[in-house]
Amino acid sequence: MARFLMFQGTASSAGKSVIAAGMIRLLRNKGFKVAPFKAQNMSLNSGVTPRGEEMGRAQILQAQAAGVEPDARMNPILLKPQGGNAIQVIVKGKVWKTCSSFEYYQYVEDLWQVVKESLDSLAREFDFVVMEGAGSPAEINLRRKDLVNMRVAKYCNAPVILIGDIDRGGVFASLYGTWALFEEEERKLLQGFLINKFRGERRILEPALQEIERLTGVPVLGVLPYLKLHLDEEDSLSEHLKGSKHQVVGDVFRVGVIRLPHIANYTDFQPLERELYVKLGYINSAKELAGLDLLIIPGTKNTFSDLAWLVEQGFGEAIEGFLKVGGLVMGICGGFQMLGERLVDPWGLESPKATVPGLGVLAMETYFAQEKVLRQVEGYLADDQSARFAGYEIHMGRTRFKKAYSPFLVIDKLLGQGVQRFEGVCVDKRIFGTYVHGIFDRASFRKRFFDCLKQQKGLPVLDIDIKATASWEDIREQELDRLSAVLEANLDLNFLSRLLAGQ
């Protein structure tokens, strides 16, 4: 049976997912077979496994850190808020039901069985299971309904490390307050504190480190420096939604992504944040279209609600005007659906209205079905076979075209099987639509696609070696190794030795 380790945090975004990924990579580098686990995840950033299962992207990243295929057992429950207090509940990679947050808690005991089964199954196959909690484990109003924090730790008798984010301030009060709210049985599992995102010299902290240990009897196992990491994030609190911060080489090509209220899978655009030939920003107002070269309408967990928001904000008329003056427009997944003439939801999955008009940019209609499309795909740009991508589809809608359009992509591999089918639309190399997430991950695709767009705008194409802009997959690998090294250098050596020895 596996050994266990659990990371919890004093609050959301304390660094649990990233630190767990770093520890997983560290253990893997020491020769252990490791699995990630998060019993219940609430996130609009999800991905698709090779088996066609949906799970949180944070656990997909952690599976990469472990060098294993992602598996829905690693994130057996995924909650996707879709507005109006409604939550789509994904269980073992498939849609289970949509309900209110209050209704969800009526199913806690049934779902606890799913959590135990998944955890037990992983424990039989791996040497280590590195787990993370969610939010704070000290939310006393949720203690009896807990599926992801101390209930999981107690079930497998896992040592717990509590992470505090010092960059936010109040880290010692947060650590102490969390410890104080723990029950005695929970305190026995707490092996240490870990202070994250520190920007100064550790010796300045020493008096406080000694005091928190004296007050609680819990050792501080490490102080981690503030790191700027290029890794997938699990929620919209991410600072990545601020856009690019680098210097663009050559003529500036400005890309604006609309920050929809229910934006999902914004990790699609993280590879663009560091490209030499792109300046990426997230926009909230139709006035911000001025000066853009390419406008992207991203994916969303509630296409109908976000479409209504777009119209209210004046984006409908603004996009029409943007196209007339030479702007380029791209829709991905839900954003693609919005570009059509109408959206139809006969089952009331997202909207109380059965039919809603779209933006009318493309002659197409989208019908929402009860079964979600979940599949990994590979292929290339329809007019350039050298520009290959690997991505995934994750959507309820099925789109019907009222006129023939040129395809945007060609898919030649679907769920690992060879196929040959067109995907998406490309209208005069000015309007693009696709259901595929992750198409910008590979450097060759990014370069070829943006070369095409720059030519369309009359801008010179930079002679940049594609090898100079690494694939997002390679970047993740490099960042995971860097994170692992930082953890090993800053964790208490005695603790690390005991962990590796199984003591």
Are 346 and 295 within 8 A, CB to CB? no
262 in catalytic set: no
Q: Enumerate residues 6+ apart whose C-beta is below 8 A from 163.
A: 7, 8, 9, 10, 14, 15, 16, 19, 193, 194, 195, 196
**Sheet containing 254-258: which strands, arranged edge to edge?**
279-283, 254-258, 294-297, 328-332, 431-434, 425-427
Question: Is 426 designated active site?
Answer: no
Instruction: Give Cα separations from 170 to 206, 314, 474, 499 (angstroms).
Output: 16, 41, 36, 29
Helix then strand then coil, in percent of the chain rounded to 5, is 35, 30, 35
Reading the block at residue 468, the tokens are: 């100079």
CA 405/CA 427 separation, integer angstroms: 7
Of the listed 240, 262, 395, 437, which one is catalytic?
Answer: 437
Q: How far apart are the first and last CA of the chain?
A: 15
* Rounded distance between C-alpha atoms, residue 362 and residue 39, angstroms: 41
Residue of 333, 395, 426, 452 with catalytic role: 333
How do strand 254-258 and strand 294-297 relate by DSSP bridges?
parallel
Q: Are strands 299-300 and 294-297 parallel, antiparallel or unpaired?
A: unpaired
Cα dihedral 401→405→406→410 (10° resolution): 0
Q: What are the catalytic residues?
A: 333, 437
